[in-house]
Amino acid sequence: MEIQAAIVRTAGGAFSVEGAELEAPRAGEVLVRIAGVGLCHTDLIARDQFIPVPLPAILGHEGAGIVEAVGEGVSKVAVGDAVILGFASCGHCARCDEDLPSYCQSFPILNYAGARPDGSSAASQKGARVSAHFFGQSSFASHAMANQRNVVKIDAADLPLEIMGPLGCGLQTGAGGIMRSMVCPAGSSLAIFGGGPVGLAAVMGAVVQQCSTIILVEPISARRDMALELGATHVIDPNAGDVAAQIRAIVPQGVEFAFETSGQVVVVQAAMTCLTSHGLLGLVGVPPRPDDSLSINLAQFISLGYRIQGIIEGDSDLDGFIPQLVDLYRQGRFPFDKLVKVFPLSQINEAIAAQARGEAIKAVLIP
């Protein structure tokens, strides 16, 4: 079938919305008409080839839409169902068996290769291959091909389906990092570093968890204001002075949990200095360079019992956690729509620029 898709052809290049062809769904696959798709930092690092998806490629991995066709053997969804698209996983490795699909042992090839496991792509242009299947979807397009395992059926009759896609990655990463990975208990103290979509989703998750002290560290004032609106108890401008000193002025012993979303080594090191004994630091930020590494004082880590946890997709199990977030949204307890600014897919490059300038916290593209 003929589709429209935002295609990137060179590392770091602009996206161009063009016509392409998409195959009919194979066994286990689901064709989804995209109502809206979030713009995520991970799409940009794939564009820039930090994730070396073969180019040209259709990226996008926070899609939501309506099922238009299903392949042989699909029983999870049917034509006409509203769905949110998440990441791909195999369903049969040791981690998937533990309901930890974001740590699937086939995660890289299923999500980053730009192809099906057999190496084929459903997308092409005049017979020439175009990489697709990014995070099991490639949803910067009018239509995307997913697998039934990474689509989540929702009742969207009362929901703005076009903005629900970010629940499939960035928002579940932030909220899940607090609610599922670190499981911050009621009454605990938490510092969140970075007030982008992931960090602000972490603020909302911390409110759900009833953390007593929720501190956001963020240089952009509008995002600090948004954090307070969402329930943060304190906000800190890192340009106003030593961050650790500012946090310890609020919590003298240090925080029990820290959540780092920027991937900047200097910020990670600052986050570690804010922990109390036996404190836990959760890391979700992608570093700007693949070889970035962290230096730690082993004696300090042992004597204070510090812990560091890498987190992918907020330890989400998709079919369990995404519906939970949808229910919280309905209840007004996860108001992520406050972060969203909508752009037509044709303005994808303008949306990227707006996010970079801090004018949009979460851009959502409408085909």
In this prediction the pTM is 0.96
- pLDDT exceeds 90 at position 243: yes
| Chain mean position to CA 56 | 23
> Distance between CA 356 and CA 111 in Å, rounded?
25
pLDDT classification of 192: cutoffs 50, 70, 90:
very high
Two tokens, residue 121: 């792509």
State what percent of residues in the chain have pLDDT above 70.
Answer: 100
pLDDT by residue (tens digit) across 102-145?
999 999 999 999 999 999 999 999 999 999 999 999 999 999 99
> Distance between CA 164 and CA 148 in Å, rounded?
18
- pLDDT exceeds 90 at position 215: yes
> Distance between CA 232 and CA 242 in Å, rounded?
20
Collect all residues with Cβ–Cβ distance below 8 Å to 169 and sequence separation of at least 6. Answer: 38, 40, 42, 61, 62, 86, 87, 135, 313
> Distance between CA 8 and CA 362 in Å, rounded?
21
- pLDDT exceeds 90 at position 176: yes
Beta bridge partners of 343: 365
Instruction: Render 226-248 in DSSP notation, one character per residue.
Output: HHHHHT-SEEE-GGGS-HHHHHH
> Distance between CA 229 and CA 206 in Å, rounded?
13
pLDDT by residue (tens digit) across 138-158?
999 999 999 999 999 999 999
Instruction: Render 180-204 in DSSP notation, one character per residue.
Output: IIS-PPTT-EEEEE--SHHHHHHHH
Collect all residues with Cβ–Cβ distance below 8 Å to 157 and sequence separation of at least 6. Answer: none
Domain 2-168+335-366 has CATH 3.40.50.300: no
Name the CATH architecture for the domain at 174-311. Answer: 3-Layer(aba) Sandwich (3.40)
CB 309 within 8 A of CB 182: yes
**Amino acid at residue number 280:** L
pLDDT by residue (tens digit) across 53-99?
999 999 999 999 999 999 999 999 999 999 999 999 999 999 999 99
Specify the residue for token string 């899940």.
176
Q: Please give the pLDDT value at position 291.
A: 85
Q: Where are the domains of the chain?
A: 2-168+335-366, 174-311
Q: Please give the pLDDT value at position 296.
A: 87
pLDDT by residue (tens digit) across 263-321?
999 999 999 999 999 999 999 998 888 888 888 889 989 999 999 999 999 999 999 99
Number of other residues whose CB lies within 10 A of the CB of residue 33: 16
Closest CA to 328 of 106, 108, 179: 179
* Mean pLDDT of the 164-192 span: 98
Q: Please compute, for residue 11, the number of CA atoms within 13 A of its CA located in the half-sphere on the CB side.
A: 7
Phi, psi of 65 (to 5 degrees): 180, -155
Average pLDDT across the chain, whole number: 97
Omega cis (within 30) before 344: no
> Distance between CA 141 and CA 63 in Å, rounded?
9
> Distance between CA 248 and CA 213 in Å, rounded?
12
Specify the residue for token string 């989400």.
316
